[in-house]
Structure 1
């Protein structure tokens, strides 16, 4: 039978004209050579075959489906049988009465005067097809700007994350509601759950893109959805690049005689850090590998930096002052 155009168009033999149109629109856009710049040879062959399939089956173009004789001939003998049918005006004389049209013409009939093409030189004919340059069916294909819809800028949303999430990583589920364009060009509502894998060490400003998940609108491709990581304030820790910073208050006796800093890490470990140095104003203690994970260096972390505020006594008795002078050698 040759090429099975029912299979090419992914419809069954009971397909209606609307079924054929919907399938052609979807497949023609999928396999248009300009949509497949990395595999143009296969795309051109598929595109031509899809167009031939629509031509062979569509009543709006060749009246095959509405003509029981033609449809029977195609079902029995395929496209060659249609080509051998005599034209209606020949009264049975001659052959090759079925003459499939150029794939460009069929595509232009669907999209040339619609919002899918920018600029038109007349009904059913896109500017894209005005010059074939002697290059055959696809000789005139160049830039896609004249044929495919524009894409609006991304839709941006902040994704607030706790410091704990950015430390250990997390999985976020985002439910979105949007409108999509169906095969008939109608806007219909749709909901979807998007999954975002927050990686350990991600920083404020990290962007996660979901292509084509924005609202569908006539004349336009759906926008991308862009989520931007934002960092929630933390009660204890502050982030400085890959480091974590905390502040501890110590009294004068602790500053001179030593102390221990006890804290709970962002992944819920208990940490006890002895401080044996004398804590002078501006002193800062760095604890290696207790900061934020470094995304680009798996297994590596920044530092935990402990800043100290020394609380000096506001009032001392004469006896206390004398003792301090003796101890400090004043």
Structure 2
């Protein structure tokens, strides 16, 4: 591929600017020509093809990465992709194709859903690369992410830090930089799965939009000993049929590392549950209060019984 500038479509010529034009020049040129060639222009002069060409030229020259490729490799390099800098394992840039909707480009620039008609119905001056005073900027849809936490983290509480990368507008209000930011989430004791933590307007910035909210939804990892049920913890244990009928001692673990000794005197049937009060999850509204541990039992029946044992069991159960 030659580095010579591809003359098949000259975006600078389309916008009637020279190759040394600034970002501000690009914005001004697009504003003027988009209004001139818009198909809905009532005074005449509208031209759908030129309107589309102007939109494509602006889409490229207003985006620094696209503009850099176009300036060096022309339209061919932009649309076919070019090798990334050495040391990137032979990677190529993405192929560019204009989305083909010049009205979308127009709307994004002027920030007005009513497009051309409303532009000429309001006498307020236009600001290139921005919206007219009084118009409400649309907000990008929220960016949704899951936040996985352990049951222990929800029991004790913890702090999580998350690094995000986003576009931040420069002081000129036209260009942007890519910057990192650390978001801090304080996970409170007793929080439940499904809680949403919202960071308002922390998404990509743009000249005609309100940045999106970033929303993290709490998701609980599975635990080897417990299942959570609201503020209670379900603890499952296996016992023999003998223990189920005659009683037995049991050590019950807790999330804070204790072993609580209890004795089960009752006959344990399949629906039987034993409750250890006040040893479950802390209540988020009042962490000094806690739910319960609910013990459920899986009874292990013998696979076979000899005739003598069957007889003894029958005799024992007659009482």
- Flag whether TM exceeds 0.5 (same fold): yes
- Which residue is 1:48 aligned to? none
- Which residue is 2:91 aligned to? none
Among 160, 165, 186, the alignment partner of 1:177 is 165
- Which residue is 1:13 aligned to? none
CA contact (8 A) 1:287 1:303 kept: yes
Task: State the Cα distance separating 1:247 from its structure 2 match.
Answer: 1.5
- Please, which runs of 5 or more residues in structure 2 have no aligned partner? 1-108, 127-131
Question: Is 2:222 the partner of 1:247?
Answer: no
Task: State the Cα distance separating 1:145 from its structure 2 match.
Answer: 8.8
Q: Could you state the TM-score of these two structures normalised by the residue count of structure 2?
A: 0.57
Q: Distance between the aligned counterparts of 1:151 and 1:126, measured in 2? A: 23
Identify the structure with bigger relative contact order (alpha carbons < 8 Å, sequence gap 6+). 2
- Which residue is 1:281 aligned to? 270
- Which residue is 1:151 aligned to? 139
Q: Distance between the aligned counterparts of 1:312 and 1:117, measured in 2? A: 73
Q: Distance between the aligned counterparts of 1:307 and 1:321, measured in 2? A: 28
Question: Is 2:130 the partner of 1:162?
Answer: no
CA contact (8 A) 1:115 1:149 kept: no
Provide the aligned C-alpha RMSD in A.
Answer: 2.7
SS where residue 310 of structure 2 aligns? helix
Where does 1:91-102 land on structure 2 (aligned, <5 Å)? none
- Please, which runs of 5 or more residues in structure 1 have no aligned partner? 1-113, 128-143
Task: State the Cα distance separating 1:181 from its structure 2 match.
Answer: 0.8
- Which residue is 1:125 aligned to? 124
Q: Distance between the aligned counterparts of 2:123 and 2:162, measured in 1? A: 42
Structure 1: 4+ residue segments shifted above 6 A:
none
Q: Distance between the aligned counterparts of 2:200 and 2:190, measured in 1? A: 24
CA contact (8 A) 1:252 1:310 kept: yes
Task: State the Cα distance separating 1:230 from its structure 2 match.
Answer: 0.7
Question: Is 2:275 the partner of 1:317?
Answer: no
Q: Distance between the aligned counterparts of 2:122 and 2:135, measured in 1? A: 15
- Which residue is 2:186 aligned to? 197
Question: Is 2:206 the partner of 1:217?
Answer: yes
